[in-house]
Amino acid sequence: MLCRHSLFLLGLLHLRLCDNWLGLVQAQQTFFPAAVPLAVRTPTFNCWLQTANGSNPMASWPTFWNNQHILGWAGYIKVDGQTWHWLGDPIPGNASTWLSTQITPTRTIITVQAGPMQLNVTFLSPVEPSDWSKQSFPFSYVYIDGKATDNQPHSIQLYSDISGEWVTNSLATPIQWSSSKIGSTSYHQVRSTNALSTFQDVAEDSVAYHAISTEQPNLVSIIGTDQALRAQFATNQEGIFLTTDLAGQFGNVRGTDGKFPVLAHAVNLGTVETISSVAWAVGVVRDPITTFMNVSRRAYYWSQYATIDDAIAAFVDDFPAARTRAIALDEQILQAATAVSQDYADLVSLATRQAMAGMDITLSTSPDGTWNFSDVKIFMKDVGNSQRVNPTETIYGALPALMYFNTSFIGALLEPLLEYQSSSAYTNPFAASDLGLGYPAVPGDPSSDALFAVENSGNMLILALAHARSSGDGSLIGRYYLLLKQWADYLSNNSLIPSQQSPADSREASLAQTHGNITNLALKGIIAVQAMAEISQIKAEAADAQKYGATAESLAQSWISMTMASSQLLWTYGESASYGLMYNLLAEKLLQLNLFPQTVYAAESTSLSNHAADLPPFGFALSSESSANTRSDWTLFTAATVPDNATRDRLISTVRAKASANASAGTFPNLYDVQTGAGPGAGISPNGFASPAQGAMFSLLALAVPNKTVVIPPSAPAKTSAGGSHTSNAGAIAGGVVGGLASVLLLAGLALFLHRRKRRTDADGEMATPQPYNGAPNMAQMFDAPGESATSPTSASGAIHVPPSRGPTANAFPSKAVMGGVLRTANAEPTSAVPSSQPGSSHLPSVSGTSVSRGTNDENLRSEMVRLRQEVEQLRAAQVPQEAPPVYE
Ligand SMILES: *[C@@H]1O[C@H](CO)[C@@H](O)[C@H](O)[C@H]1NC(C)=O
Ligand SMILES: *[C@@H]1O[C@H](CO)[C@@H](O)[C@H](O)[C@H]1NC(C)=O
Ligand SMILES: *[C@@H]1O[C@H](CO)[C@@H](O)[C@H](O)[C@H]1NC(C)=O
Ligand SMILES: *[C@@H]1O[C@H](CO)[C@@H](O)[C@H](O)[C@H]1NC(C)=O
Ligand SMILES: *[C@@H]1O[C@H](CO)[C@@H](O)[C@H](O)[C@H]1NC(C)=O
Ligand SMILES: *[C@@H]1O[C@H](CO)[C@@H](O)[C@H](O)[C@H]1NC(C)=O
Ligand SMILES: *[C@@H]1O[C@H](CO)[C@@H](O)[C@H](O)[C@H]1NC(C)=O
Ligand SMILES: *[C@@H]1O[C@H](CO)[C@@H](O)[C@H](O)[C@H]1NC(C)=O
Ligand SMILES: *[C@@H]1O[C@H](CO)[C@@H](O)[C@H](O)[C@H]1NC(C)=O
100 pocket-lining for ligand 7 (C-beta < 6 Å): no
pLDDT tens track for 19-61: 333 323 345 789 999 999 999 999 999 999 999 887 889 999 9
Euclidean distance between the first and the last CA atom of the chain, given in angstroms as a whole number: 20
| CA–CA dist 193, 205 (Å, integer) | 9
> What is the distance between the alpha carbons of residues 68 and 70, in angstroms, rounded to a whole number?
7
Least distant ligand from the CA of 100: 4
Vertex 840 angle, CA 834 and 844, to 5°: 160
Distance CA 90, CA 116 (A): 21
**Distance (Å, whole) CA 386 – CA 393:** 12
Which residue's CA is the nearest one to ligand 3's atom 12? Answer: 130
What is the distance in A from the centroid of ligand 3 to the CA of 131? 7
Decide if 188 contacts 156 (C-beta within 8 A): no
What interhelical angle do 519-538 and 542-563 show, nearest 10? 160
> What pLDDT does residue 627 have?
67
**What mean pLDDT, rounded, does the chain reach?**
80
| Ligand 8 pocket member 517 (CB < 6 A) | yes
Instruction: Specify the residue with its C-alpha closest to ligand 6, atom 2.
Output: 645
Side-chain half-sphere CA neighbours of 175 within 13 A: 29
Cα(385) to ligand 7 centroid in Å equals: 33
Cα torsion angle, 670, 671, 673, 679, sign: negative
Looking at ligand 6, which residue's alpha carbon is closest to its atom 10?
645
H-assigned helices in 200-307: 226-233
pLDDT band at 764; cut points 50, 70, 90 = very low
What residues contact residue 351 under an 8 Å CB cut-off, 6+ apart? 401, 668, 694, 695, 696, 697, 698
The residue whose CA has the least distance to atom 10 of ligand 1 is 53
Nearest to 617 by CA among 579, 580, 646, 659: 659
Give per-residue pLDDT as tens, 685-708. 456 689 999 999 999 999 999 999
Ligand nearest to the CA of 736: 9
Q: Are 227 and 255 in contact (CB under 8 A)?
A: no
Cα 622 to Cα 509: distance, rounded to the nearest angstrom: 9
Hey, whose CA ends up nearest to atom 12 of ligand 8? 516
Write down the pLDDT at residue 514.
85
Question: Contact 281/212 with Cβ under 8 angstroms?
Answer: yes
CA distance 9 to 25: 15
Burial degree of 23 (CB within 10 A; 0-12, 13-18, 19+):
exposed
Pairing of strands 139-148, 185-192: unpaired
Cα angle, residue 233 at apex, residues 232 and 239 outer, rounded to 5°: 115
Residue type, 609: S
**Residues with C-beta less than 6 Å from any ligand 3 atom:** 129-130, 132, 406, 408, 886, 888-889
Contact present, 742 and 868 (Cβ < 8 Å): yes
Residue 507 pLDDT grade (very low, low, confident, very high; cuts 50, 70, 90): confident
CA 728 to the chain's CA centroid = 32
Candidate from 300, 402, 408 with most ligand 3 atoms within 8 A of CB, to mutate: 408
Binned at pLDDT 50, 70 and 90, residue 804 comes out as: very low
Output the residue whose Cα is nearest ligand 7's atom 3: 375
Looking at residue 734, its pLDDT comes to 34
- Rounded mean pLDDT of 291-307? 96
Burial label for 322, CB within 10 Å (0-12, 13-18, 19+), is buried
Pocket test of ligand 7: the residue of 294, 373, 374 to mutate, having most ligand atoms within 8 Å of its CB, is: 374
The answer to whether the beta carbons of residues 679 and 856 sit under 8 Å apart is: no
Closest protein CA for atom 2 of ligand 7: 375
Q: Which atom of ligand 9 is nearest to the CA of 736?
A: 5
Ligand 5 centroid from CA 650, angstroms:
52
Give the residue among 623, 636, 81, 45 at the shortest CA–CA distance from 356: 45
* Ligand 6 atom 11 nearest Cα: 645
Between 54 and 846, the higher pLDDT residue: 54
Q: Are 249 and 7 in contact (CB under 8 A)?
A: no
Residue 30 Cα to ligand 1 midpoint, Å, equals 12
Check if CATH label 3.40.720 holds for domain 4-325.
Answer: no
Beta strands 154-163 and 73-79, pairing class: antiparallel
Query: Which residue from 212, 215, 80 is spatially nearest to 159, judged by alpha carbons?
Result: 212
Distance from residue 646's CA to the centre of ligand 6 (Å): 10
Q: Are strands 82-87 and 94-95 parallel, antiparallel or unpaired?
A: parallel
Q: Are 354 and 105 in contact (CB under 8 A)?
A: no
Query: Which of 213, 338, 270, 295 lies closest to 78, judged by CA?
Result: 270
Protein residue with its CA nearest to atom 10 in ligand 4 = 120
pTM: 0.82
The answer on pLDDT for 133 being more than 80 is: yes
Alpha helices in 248-391 (DSSP H): 308-317, 319-338, 342-356
In this predicted model, what pLDDT tens digit does every residue of 741-760 receive, in sequence order? Answer: 333 333 343 343 334 333 33
Cα 130 to its chain centre, rounded Å, is 14
Closest among 501, 497, 498, 549 to 527, alpha carbons compared: 549
Report the pLDDT value the prediction gives residue 27, as an integer from 0 to 100.
52
Q: CB-based contacts of 449: which residues, under 8 Å, 6+ apart?
A: 428, 430, 431, 432, 433, 456
> Which pLDDT score, from 0 to 100, does residue 664 have?
78
Dihedral sign computed on CA atoms, order 542, 545, 551, 554? negative
Smallest-distance ligand from the CA of 31: 1
**Alpha helix locations (H) across 382-446?**
392-405, 408-422
Which residue owns the Cα nearest ligand 5 atom 8? Answer: 294
- Is 816 a residue whose pLDDT tops 50? no
pLDDT tens per residue, range 581-606: 999 999 999 999 999 999 999 999 99
The reported pLDDT for the residue numbered 560 is 98
Residue 194: count of CB within 10 angstroms of its CB: 12
Q: Report the nearest atom of ligand 1 relative to the CA of 662.
A: 14
- Pairing type for strands 295-299 and 253-254 reads unpaired
- How crowded is residue 8: how many other Cβ atoms within 10 Å of its Cβ? 15
Distance 767 CA to ligand 7 centre (A): 15
CA 435, 384, 30, 74 torsion-angle sign:
negative
Q: Is 520 helix (H, G, I), strand (E, B) or coil?
A: helix
- Which of 244-248, 402-406, 770-774 is predicted least confidently? 770-774
Statement: residue 872 has pLDDT above 90: no
Report which bound ligand comes closest to the CA of 574.
8
DSSP codes joined into one string, 137-195: --EEEEEEEEEETTS--EEEEEEEEEEGGGS-SSTTS-EEEEEEEETTEEEEEEEESS-
Q: Where are the domains of the chain?
A: 4-325, 711-825+841-879
**Dist CA 227 CA 804 (whole Å):** 11
pLDDT recorded at residue 851? 30
Cα 117 → chain centroid: 36
24 to each of 5, 17, 29, 99, 151, how far by Cα in Å? 19, 10, 15, 12, 12
Q: Can you state the percent helix, strand and coil of the chain, rounding each to 5?
A: 35, 20, 45
> Distance from the CA of 138 to the center of ligand 7, in angstroms?
26
Q: Atom 13 of ligand 1 has which residue's CA nearest to it?
A: 32
Q: How many helices (H) and strands (E) are present in the chain, helices listed first?
A: 22, 29
Ligand 9 probe mutation, 707, 872, 875, 882, most atoms within 8 A of CB? 707
pLDDT tens by residue, 210-241: 999 999 999 999 999 998 899 999 988 888 88
Higher pLDDT, 229 or 789: 229
Pocket perturbation via mutation, ligand 5, pick of 294, 295, 364 by most ligand atoms within 8 A of CB? 294
- Is the beta carbon of 787 within 6 A of some atom in ligand 9? no
pLDDT value of position 243: 75
Average pLDDT over residues 530-545: 98
Asked if 624 and 674 count as a contact pair (C-beta separation under 8 A), the reply is: no
Residue 497 alpha carbon, nearest atom of ligand 8? 1
